[in-house]
Amino acid sequence: MFFYGFMQRAFQASFFISLIAPMLGLFLILRRQSLMADTLSHVSLAGVALGMLIGTDPTITNIFVVVLIAVALEYLRMLYRSYSEISIAILMSTGMAVALVLMGLNDGGATLSMNQFLFGSIVTINQQQVLMLAILTVIIGSLYVLFRKPMYVLTFDEDTAFTAGLPIKWMSILFNILTGVTIAVVMPIVGALLVSAILILPAAISMRLSKSFNGVIFIGMIIALTGMLSGLVASYEYGTPPGASITLIFIFIFALTVIGKKITLRFKQNQFSKS
């Protein structure tokens, strides 16, 4: 399978996604925005549907729509500060509704392609998307190295960050835009329904394994690589959708982590009671 061009591109894409996912995922979790990725992926469908309707590259319209909504999300988050999930509910349903209406206007001609965006498909990855992912990885990696400290303080407590003189509004908007663009680029590979799982799960698992902030990102990358690559192999071997296969492997790793931690804790308690 490694000799097929589409599989090579899939592995390359998975490698880049594995580097990006824990960086974005950790900040999304800590900012209580885990579901934001889900919202943006639903909105992404509207972007794809719009591209298909007007006959342009869906990835371009998708990025445009998602960036717009990512900014709107920040506005709504500030408006409903105490109930930030309201912004997610409003935009998720709007995104889905717009997607369905646009698909309807397209006389159903886009249904097959839409399925690829919903569930993801290895064959949909082209060289241009791999290149976009590589560029995105460089941008996000550089921004992480540069803004790691301000983002650490921002995610720990926004009021403290504001008092320390950080431009919290612009940082939040930029973060949302980066998340949106990532989702728009990743969606055709893993599928809109599971893109948020791919972003969130590696960081969620590694948060249980590492004490330090950088440790969570590093372990998250290893977990993401393991899940993504083995998920792709499974997807190829059994003909299952890649997003779903990868997600199930992440869930399996998560379960292993929980059980492993329980066993370690019990072992330590036994050692302690013996001594």
Q: Establish if 207 lies at the interface with other proteins (CB under 8 A).
A: yes
Q: How far is the CB of 78 from other proteins (least distance, A)?
A: 12
Closest CA to 187 of 249, 268, 132, 107: 132
CA distances from 91 to 37, 84, 97 (A): 11, 12, 10
Centre a 10 Å sphere on the Cβ of residue 93 and count the other Cβ atoms it contains: 12
Q: Establish if 155 lies at the interface with other proteins (CB under 8 A).
A: yes
Q: Establish if 165 lies at the interface with other proteins (CB under 8 A).
A: yes
Q: Establish if 212 lies at the interface with other proteins (CB under 8 A).
A: yes
CA distances from 268 to 163, 262, 263, 264 (A): 42, 10, 9, 6
Build a one-symbol-per-residue string for 30-59: x at contacts with other proteins by CB under 8 A, - elsewhere: x-----------------------------
Burial class (CB in 10 A: 0-12, 13-18, 19+), 147: middle
Which amino acid type is present at position 270?
N
Structure tokens of 54?
Answer: 């007007």
Q: How far is the CB of 210 from other proteins (least distance, A)?
A: 6
Question: Which residue number, 107 or 159, has a Cβ lying nearer to other proteins?
Answer: 159
Q: How far is the CB of 191 from other proteins (least distance, A)?
A: 28
Q: Establish if 170 lies at the interface with other proteins (CB under 8 A).
A: no
Question: Which residue number, 30 or 190, has a Cβ lying nearer to other proteins?
Answer: 30
Closest CA to 220 of 229, 231, 210: 210
Phi-psi region of 126 (alpha: psi -120 to 50; beta: other; left: phi over 0): beta
Span from 7-15, 154-162, 223-231, 259-267 in contact with other proteins (CB under 8 A)? 154-162
What residue ranges bind other proteins (CB under 8 A)? Answer: 26, 30, 146, 149-150, 152-153, 155-157, 159-160, 162-165, 207, 210-213, 215-216
